[in-house]
Chains A and B, each alone.
Chain A
Amino acid sequence: MNEALLEVRDLATHFFTRNGVIKPVDGVSFRVRRGEVLGLVGESGSGKSVTGFSLLGLIDPPGRIVSGSIRFEGRELVGMKPRELASIRGKRIAMVFQDPTMTLNPLLTVADQMRLALLAHERLSSRAIRDRSVEVLQIVGIPDAANRLGSYPHQFSGGMRQRVSLAIALLHRPPLIVADEPTTALDVSVQAQILSEVKQLVTNLGTSLIWISHDLATVSALADNIAVMYAGRIVESGPTRKVLANPLHPYTNGLLASLPARASRGLPLPFIPGTTPSLLDLPQGCRFAPRCRHADGICATMPELIPHGERAFRCHHPNLEPAA
């Protein structure tokens, strides 16, 4: 029985601003097992990135984690002292950010950045640092790795830069990697390439991965399990194939239907009417109700997350009939 590497329960992260309290994460629960890939899907404003940052405790004021639990390798991360948290970041959980142009220090060479990342957790000789750096660059498929160590981030193309980010994440062989929209800023062709490479990597190394994205298509190619987020909460989760074949939540349904790949030629592209609610001013009941075709009186109360076998849903009117 594969026990959970990461177990998140009722996580809530709020931002206390002059204009009010913003709740990007408001009761999120999911679990990731060893070697598993979880796709966290949602539109911008759904709170998925903030969820990712919350896992590593990277929430800057005026935000903070207000409640909930994050259990990782048997330890509770919420409320952990900064020093302990720092010892986990990069070593046991590593993060790949969306835009490597903003995250990789433009003034330092790749070699320097890797050295800093390595020395944050281990004492190593220069030789060992160099060897490990070359090694990870090779793993992610950067040609002529040894020579490229001395290059600066701006000397790489977008796709290569992201590979470098991935390489840095792999330096300590962490059991869990959190990737926040890693391919969104890249060309479509490069996206596909990186996607397949990551898939291979994950299988070979046995690393668990949380892949955060708004793009259902990329996630479906990679993830074992999917969790769909809307307005700060998980509205549906389960094994990818099952969720995509037979979505239970109207939102998931809408997302799937609006994928260009699924569209029929000549017919207008379906879309979900309305917009995501402002995180300052959330409706009392089901947060999707204003946009939902099936909404009625009962939807004024908040639906709970109901387990359904391997799956879960948060809806008063789930689509429980199996697909035709």
Chain B
Amino acid sequence: MLLFVAQRVLQAIAVMLVVSLLVFVGVYAIGNPVDVMIGPDATQQMRDQLIERYGFDRPLYEQYFSFLWRLLHGDLGTSLVFNMPVLQLMSSRLPATLELTLAAVIGATVIGVPLGIYAGYRPESPLSRLIMSLSILGFSVPTFWIGLVLIFIFAVSLGWLPAGGRGDTVDIFGSQWSFLTLSGLQHLLLPALNLSLFKMALMIRLARAGTREAMLSDTVKYARGLGQSEWTVLRHHVFWLISIPLVTVFGLELGTTLAFAVVTETIFSWPGLGKLIIDSIFMLDRPVMIAYLVVVAFVFVTINLVIDIVYVALDPRLRKASS
């Protein structure tokens, strides 16, 4: 098992290296790194200083190593727009995005999986049919449009919830978190709901399909044959049987959720990483864009690694194969 983890970690590192190489080639070899670091209105003197400092006149492989070195030391460049180190800029926005994404993901799973299990357990009931119809809407309708509709209904027409922005925050260990305040929660509700719907629809469909299959399986028949109650069957057998495919898709779609956070943050003016990247794209804040690429790649590689490990932990049959 340990060997498996070590193997996967090494693979992850290899992937990160490849990504860093791709980014490097794209920016430094093909593009003009000087343009990336300074705005177009910089003087020639400033440019020369930059070239000197970062060694842009050095051979490419040397540049790559210094690039890697900078990355590993957390130097992701300086934002042209905000005039602060990108790392600092991103860290200040991170809590907002984390709040939003976690709330969405947890909501999607906690609501979606039980609904899906019910729909799979009693597929013919009217409630199940309703759930399934709504789930089609959930993953068909583009996230941004659902967001608009939510704002229109709850903010504009009914006036119950705010249309955007983040609520009051509380300082925990130096970063700002808003889920502990009432206004924070009020501001969090709509965007989190918006972001969660896609994943929730997927979880519902998956849980339903898995439950239907499991209910017809020999394992469940056998358990019933032993006199186990329907509740026991659902809780101890069906739930664990569907957990593996659920975790797989959960992991795969975690990335998609993070990606769609970009859209949700834009609509709700939620001051997180997603909004940062969109703003940066339009303001041509290139250092932020590049840093974002690298960070995002890192996040996804880590997510995949964790999912792989969880997978093996869940299915005892895989442990035998991996040891």
Interface residues of A (CB under 8 A from B): 53, 56, 58, 60, 86-91, 94-95, 97, 99, 102-108, 112, 116-117, 119-121, 152, 154-155, 168
Instruction: Find the B residue at minimum CB distance from A168.
Output: B226
Chain A nearest CB, measured from B24 CB (Å): 44
Chain B nearest CB, measured from A109 CB (Å): 8
Complex Cα–Cα for A89 and B240 (A): 23
Complex Cα–Cα for A87 and B320 (A): 37
> By the criterion CB–CB under 8 Å, are A102 and B218 in contact?
yes
Complex Cα–Cα for A22 and B4 (A): 50
> By the criterion CB–CB under 8 Å, are B236 and A97 in contact?
no
12 A-B pairs besides A103-B219, A154-B320 with CB distance below 8 A are: A86-B227, A95-B226, A102-B219, A104-B219, A105-B223, A105-B236, A106-B317, A107-B314, A107-B315, A117-B228, A154-B316, A168-B226
Supposing A117-B228, A152-B317, A155-B320 touch, asked if A95 and B236 sit within 8 A by C-beta, the answer is no
User: Which of chain A's residues have a CB closer than 8 A to the CB of B232?
Assistant: 116, 119-120
Chain B nearest CB, measured from A148 CB (Å): 14
Complex Cα–Cα for A120 and B232 (A): 8
Chain B nearest CB, measured from A88 CB (Å): 7
> By the criterion CB–CB under 8 Å, are A108 and B236 in contact?
yes
Complex Cα–Cα for A89 and B232 (A): 14
> By the criterion CB–CB under 8 Å, are B227 and A105 in contact?
no
Complex Cα–Cα for A3 and B147 (A): 72
> By the criterion CB–CB under 8 Å, are B222 and A104 in contact?
yes
Chain B nearest CB, measured from A115 CB (Å): 10
Complex Cα–Cα for A53 and B221 (A): 10
Complex Cα–Cα for A88 and B320 (A): 37
Complex Cα–Cα for A276 and B316 (A): 42
Chain A nearest CB, measured from B242 CB (Å): 11
> By the criterion CB–CB under 8 Å, are B219 and A90 in contact?
no
Instruction: Find the A residue at minimum CB distance from B226.
Output: A90
Instruction: Find the A residue at minimum CB distance from B237.
Output: A105
Chain B nearest CB, measured from A95 CB (Å): 5
Chain A nearest CB, measured from B121 CB (Å): 13
User: Which of chain A's residues have a CB closer than 8 A to the CB of B320?
Assistant: 154-155
> By the criterion CB–CB under 8 Å, are A95 and B223 in contact?
no
Instruction: Find the B residue at minimum CB distance from A112.
Output: B236
Supposing A107-B240, A154-B316, A154-B320 touch, asked if A89 and B216 sit within 8 A by C-beta, the answer is no
User: Which of chain A's residues have a CB closer than 8 A to the CB of B315?
Assistant: 106-107
Complex Cα–Cα for A108 and B239 (A): 12
> By the criterion CB–CB under 8 Å, are A121 and B227 in contact?
yes
Contact partner of A152 (CB less than 8 A), chosen from B222, B223, B225, B316, is B316
User: Which of chain B's residues have a CB closer than 8 A to the CB of A91?
Assistant: 227
**Can you show 5 pairs from A to B with CB atoms below 8 A apart?**
A58-B225, A60-B216, A90-B228, A95-B222, A105-B236
> By the criterion CB–CB under 8 Å, are B219 and A117 in contact?
no
**What 0/1 pattern do residues 241 to 259 of B give for CB contact below 8 A with A?**
1000000000000000000
User: Which of chain A's residues have a CB closer than 8 A to the CB of B223?
Assistant: 105, 116
Which B211-233 residues sit within 8 Å CB-CB of chain A?
216-219, 221-229, 232
Instruction: Find the A residue at minimum CB distance from B215.
Output: A60
Contact partner of A103 (CB less than 8 A), chosen from B222, B229, B241, B314, is B222
Complex Cα–Cα for A100 and B105 (A): 37
User: Which of chain B's residues have a CB closer than 8 A to the CB of A89?
Assistant: 224-227
Chain B nearest CB, measured from A280 CB (Å): 21
Chain B nearest CB, measured from A13 CB (Å): 15
Complex Cα–Cα for A91 and B221 (A): 16
Chain B nearest CB, measured from A107 CB (Å): 5
Complex Cα–Cα for A230 and B229 (A): 34
Supposing A102-B218, A107-B240, A107-B241 touch, asked if A120 and B227 sit within 8 A by C-beta, the answer is yes
Complex Cα–Cα for A104 and B320 (A): 18
> By the criterion CB–CB under 8 Å, are A58 and B224 in contact?
yes
Supposing A97-B218, A99-B218 touch, asked if A88 and B227 sit within 8 A by C-beta, the answer is yes
Chain B nearest CB, measured from A197 CB (Å): 21
Complex Cα–Cα for A62 and B241 (A): 24
Interface-central residue, B224, B226, B240, B314, by most chain A CB under 10 Å: B226
Complex Cα–Cα for A310 and B69 (A): 92
Complex Cα–Cα for A58 and B218 (A): 11
User: Which of chain A's residues have a CB closer than 8 A to the CB of B317?
Assistant: 106, 152, 154
Complex Cα–Cα for A53 and B315 (A): 30
Which B270-316 residues sit within 8 Å CB-CB of chain A?
314-316
User: Which of chain B's residues have a CB closer than 8 A to the CB of A86?
Assistant: 224, 227-229
Chain A nearest CB, measured from B230 CB (Å): 8
User: Which of chain A's residues have a CB closer than 8 A to the CB of B228?
Assistant: 86, 90, 116-117, 120
Which B5-35 residues sit within 8 Å CB-CB of chain A?
none
Interface-central residue, A97, A116, A119, A152, by most chain B CB under 10 Å: A116
User: Which of chain B's residues have a CB closer than 8 A to the CB of A107?
Assistant: 240-241, 314-316
Which B159-192 residues sit within 8 Å CB-CB of chain A?
none
Supposing A99-B218, A104-B219, A105-B219 touch, asked if A94 and B226 sit within 8 A by C-beta, the answer is yes
Chain B nearest CB, measured from A42 CB (Å): 21
User: Which of chain A's residues have a CB closer than 8 A to the CB of B221?
Assistant: 53, 58, 60, 97, 103
Instruction: Find the B residue at minimum CB distance from A102.
Output: B218
User: Which of chain A's residues have a CB closer than 8 A to the CB of B219?
Assistant: 102-105
Instruction: Find the B residue at minimum CB distance from A97.
Output: B222
Instruction: Find the A residue at minimum CB distance from B225.
Output: A95
* 6 A-B pairs with the lowest CB-CB distances in the bound complex, closest first: A90-B227, A90-B226, A103-B222, A89-B227, A102-B218, A95-B225
Supposing A105-B240, A107-B241, A107-B316 touch, asked if A87 and B227 sit within 8 A by C-beta, the answer is yes
Supposing A103-B219, A104-B219, A154-B316 touch, asked if A90 and B237 sit within 8 A by C-beta, the answer is no
> By the criterion CB–CB under 8 Å, are B226 and A117 in contact?
yes
User: Which of chain B's residues have a CB closer than 8 A to the CB of A94?
Assistant: 225-226
Complex Cα–Cα for A155 and B319 (A): 11
Complex Cα–Cα for A107 and B218 (A): 14
Chain B nearest CB, measured from A163 CB (Å): 15
Chain B nearest CB, measured from A171 CB (Å): 8
